[in-house]
Homo-oligomer: A and B are copies of this chain.
């Protein structure tokens, strides 16, 4: 994902020009601003703007006149309380704007999170770059045998090589033909809005994506999860690191009460209580399906 010299120059110009503001400033986030953090082979995430910090969450929760902070410790306690008890509105008072470059098949998953603002690069209006996601060999996996929507072992040898060969060759040919169709050299040139249909889903697109912290946490919980597809998880992981620097108390609460938390069904809670009293509980006397029992065992082991 090497930026062009012009792009890097634009970023440097923005980073070289601090200005005074009266707004809340989050020093941990200032260091990320505009920098392109590489993701996958040609993608990136970069922070374009942010609003608020940990103190702003508390200030809104208290509907206060000033900073609303008695102490950092107080604020952290309040934030943990708000997260634990599903008070979502104070977290909505922080906002993040990102510039993301990502393969189209990842973008299609990402866009399903509706409570966000998006401006995508238009392939009706502009010509897409010749950049395709080709997975690294260690991320070319077989279909999972136990999970219909998951991956199994890494492909080996000839099969892996053949897959990578196909992905590269088809991308290249489709793009060559895209270019040939829109070319105005000696022909009228196909409309871009039509020509784009020849491009496969591993081509890269870009967008500006703006979201509040509550909805961002929801996105991260689903997409940084172990069951998310690897290619979107790496974006979520990258954003997690940025958010940890931006709002450390909120991010800590998110880790404890969301990412690292477990929801136990009423049946699971009942079994737990029996086990803690010393009773031997098995799948047979648990009132759970086989699948739920397996999920339960994973939690308590």
Q: Check B117 against A11 for contact (C-beta < 8 Å).
A: no
Q: How far is the CB of A31 from chain B (nearest CB, A)?
A: 9
A3 CB contacts on chain B under 8 angstroms: 65
A260 CB contacts on chain B under 8 angstroms: 265-266, 269
Q: How far is the CB of A61 from chain B (nearest CB, A)?
A: 6
| Residues of A contacting B: mostly | mixed
Return 12 A-B CB contacts under 8 Å, by A number. Answer: A7-B66, A21-B25, A61-B119, A65-B99, A125-B148, A140-B194, A142-B189, A159-B190, A162-B181, A261-B265, A261-B266, A269-B299
Determine if A71 is an interface residue (Cβ-Cβ < 8 Å): no
- 8 Å CB contacts to B: which residues of A142-180? 142-144, 148-153, 155-156, 159, 162-163, 166-167, 170, 173-174, 177, 180
Number of interface residues of A (CB under 8 A): 138
Q: Mark A84-116, 1 if CB is under 8 A from B, else 0.
A: 101001101101010100011100100110110
Interface residues of A (CB under 8 A from B): 3, 6-7, 9-11, 13-15, 17-25, 30, 33-34, 48-52, 56, 59-61, 63-67, 77, 80-81, 84, 86, 89-90, 92-93, 95, 97, 99, 103-105, 108, 111-112, 114-115, 117-122, 124-125, 133, 135, 140-144, 148-153, 155-156, 159, 162-163, 166-167, 170, 173-174, 177, 180-182, 184, 187-194, 196-202, 206-208, 210, 212, 222, 229, 255-257, 259-269, 272-273, 275-276, 289, 291-292, 295, 299-301
Q: Check B66 against A11 for contact (C-beta < 8 Å).
A: yes
Q: Check A269 against B261 for contact (C-beta < 8 Å).
A: yes
Name the residue on B nearest A221 (C-beta). Answer: B86
Q: How far is the CA of A182 from the CA of B141 in the complex (A)?
A: 11
Name the residue on B nearest A215 (C-beta). Answer: B117
A124 CB contacts on chain B under 8 angstroms: 149, 229
Q: Check B170 against A60 for contact (C-beta < 8 Å).
A: no
Q: How far is the CA of A56 from the CA of B191 in the complex (A)?
A: 29
Q: Check A190 against B119 for contact (C-beta < 8 Å).
A: no
A17 CB contacts on chain B under 8 angstroms: 22
Q: How far is the CB of A24 from chain B (nearest CB, A)?
A: 6
Name the residue on B nearest A182 (C-beta). Answer: B143
Q: How far is the CB of A226 from chain B (nearest CB, A)?
A: 13
Q: Check B19 against A25 for contact (C-beta < 8 Å).
A: yes
